[in-house]
Structure 1
């Protein structure tokens, strides 16, 4: 099987959608000799910040000399970046080989009359095979959707179960209140693990405390009052937290300071268990993190950022970062979202900052909110006389924003992560042509 054939196979499977539950992936992994049972996991659930906490934690572990796997969902730039070891994505040839091995296991399941796995279950199985083959010391594992019934939760008890900020998202699937969503996500807590959480609303924290106590697990929550932001600009910041002073953090924003301290609490737990993680590895790991789509600067004159603010909580973080880093600057917004997101509240948060707005329809048109519809919603929340334009394409939106922007203006493309890679490609292409 070639890489192209592997992708065609997975694209075909993806047409059948997703199903929450562990029965099918359990059968698939059994056919593959249960590679997950030979790995040490740090399992991350939450609404926002999972990828950033994963990046900080895995970067530090790699710097400390541990062979560290990453499993990321969704990806933004490259499909293969979802499976990495020490920040290096799996190769096309290896991915094709492991896909073929997994496909053969699925054929055996079908012959025995068992259910076929979803594409996410297949990708998860491929990742576990790869991490075992690569002799990873740790795997930092990001939940796909939810927790309890997410395919990633097939793992044995993790070294650490981690919770980033929990808020409303995937309504009706994970639950309809923060408490219900927290109950679903808290299913990754298993006996014997350490539990680490970002600061949470009281109802969410109560759920995590209950589940941790029920499983006999210690719970460690970041104390926001202990976080000091010493310096900050759009390229990053420096923070102090408890015994750590003046730590470099490569991503800006108060929410990234919190994400970094969640990683520090994870690292503290590993050190208590006897793992050697010196402070210089923490400093190198934090300063070296590059995480596309988390307030990523693509260009400096004018400044052009992309950010995956696809729900109200993330939009509030983005707005706070913009207000802190660019007070009084003229802001040009480019926005695209999926239609199942709370786009009206995102608009209410972001539109008042805008000097102008360009909306787009996402590449996956079946899931996208049409750019024309989004433009009408944004117009409702923008200040008077702010122009709002639905653009015919992502290229057109990027071009319009750049042509409109003055040298000292700031452009921000935000919303669903799925289109930010296309924005980056457009920016690069246009500047090769000098617009």
Structure 2
């Protein structure tokens, strides 16, 4: 057992993840030893290639504005590990992380003695979350899927509402090489009779979700078919404005402080999920409070402005789907400016595809770089890629200084790629401003 937070964290992070067989048997074994905490709280389960975190943030703020104590389970973290399990946006204190790790440690040791083998890092953290919220800490818990859905460790819950935000090509080595295969994995979160809300999803993937919802006798509510966004416009300040409608409510005008049409879509999915949740649970929600919750929503590292002169933006576009969205947002909002893009990615990503997308942006210059993380693509690996208008700079700090100097105060510097990279750059700026 552990006596300090640091000891507990070291144990969690030292746990081998890779090589574990996917499946829920290890989770089910551990949960059976502690009287099934996953059955003791209301939840909303959120899957999707991109948009999970932002959709969760919109939901959290709307529920909080309506007087709910809201638990969240998210990954990866941006600043501290404790963020992963939060209450009303406040990460758990160190002493709670220590207590929960000590609760899970004997379960992990017991599991190691079975044919199933010990748990993965993500299974340990998920167990900590389930035990914590099983103690009655929140009115509702928003649970973000780690990877996929069907065999994700979080898929032991039966939520009030399931949400699938988007389907794109990511984690193909685990989820499949086609959109329908990936969709089938993510549709694995759909439970019998539990309503499902989906975001903007291509037809070939949506058909898979429709079939699964039908099999599970689950009501399916689809973006642009069952709920709609109209009168969208980008605000002169940072953010978007739009009208939301479905068969039951109309909200107008909605303003959000997050930039990009994809955030409008995420907000719409969150509103529909909240409407369904309130209908299923009898929670009374106030439209004015919904609007104020949406307006206050912020999610770090998603088109996050961290400097004005020059304009410096962080965006964790860590796969092709997200990179395509980022490129569209840049083209719409910064068409008249020079764009300096700094990108660092993981080794397992389709980096060339992401580069090709970024190079469609007019007036842009691309710098590929690396950062301090075991799975980060190295400068040597990046130099093997084809970049038509850009260079590789080994260290991101040098890339940042070069971009800021080149931009001359009038350009836009976009830092993008892995969320772990975004986290490192963000921490650098926060430390500089302390």
Q: CA deviation at 1:112?
A: 5.5
Q: CA deviation at 1:132?
A: 2.4
The answer on whether the counterparts of 2:17 and 2:120 sit within 8 Å (CA) in structure 1 is no
The answer on whether the counterparts of 1:165 and 1:199 sit within 8 Å (CA) in structure 2 is yes
> How do 1:254-293 residues align onto structure 2 when only pairs under 5 Å count?
254-273=261-280, 274-293=282-301
Q: CA deviation at 1:190?
A: 0.6
Between 1:371-380 and 1:279-288, the stretch displaced more is: 371-380
Between 1:127-136 and 1:328-337, the stretch displaced more is: 127-136
What is aligned with 1:385? none
Distance in 1 (CA, whole Å) between partners of 2:236 and 2:208 is 36
Q: 1:116 to 1:202 in 2, by over 3 A?
A: same
The answer on whether the counterparts of 1:358 and 1:375 sit within 8 Å (CA) in structure 2 is no
Distance in 2 (CA, whole Å) between partners of 1:21 and 1:233 is 48
Q: 1:234 to 1:181 in 2, by over 3 A?
A: farther
Distance in 1 (CA, whole Å) between partners of 2:278 and 2:431 is 46
What is aligned with 2:210? 209
Is 1:379 aligned with 2:411? no
Between 1:28-37 and 1:405-414, the stretch displaced more is: 28-37
Structure 2, unmatched stretches of 5+, are: none
> How do 1:122-141 residues align onto structure 2 when only pairs under 5 Å count?
122-141=124-143
> How do 1:2-401 residues align onto structure 2 when only pairs under 5 Å count?
2-14=4-16, 18-111=20-113, 114-155=116-157, 157-223=158-224, 226-233=229-236, 235-242=238-245, 243-273=250-280, 274-353=282-361, 355-365=364-374, 367-375=375-383, 377=385, 379-380=387-388, 382=389, 388-401=390-403
Distance in 1 (CA, whole Å) between partners of 2:20 and 2:72 is 22
SS at the partner of 1:284?
Answer: helix
Distance in 2 (CA, whole Å) between partners of 1:90 and 1:429 is 22
SS at the partner of 1:238?
Answer: strand
CA RMSD of aligned residues (A): 1.9
Q: CA deviation at 1:297?
A: 0.6
Distance in 2 (CA, whole Å) between partners of 1:12 and 1:424 is 25
The number of residues matched between the two structures is 424
Distance in 1 (CA, whole Å) between partners of 2:267 and 2:286 is 16
Q: CA deviation at 1:252?
A: 1.0
List per-residue Cα deviations over 1:234-278 (Å, max 9, x = no partner).
Answer: 621111111111111121111110000000110111232221111
Q: 1:341 to 1:135 in 2, by over 3 A?
A: same
The answer on whether the counterparts of 1:359 and 1:372 sit within 8 Å (CA) in structure 2 is no
The answer on whether the counterparts of 2:111 and 2:119 sit within 8 Å (CA) in structure 1 is no
Query: What is the TM-score normalised by the length of structure 1?
Result: 0.93
List per-residue Cα deviations over 1:76-135 (Å, max 9, x = no partner).
Answer: 222111111111101111001110111022223335565211110000000111222353
Structure 1, unmatched stretches of 5+, are: 383-387
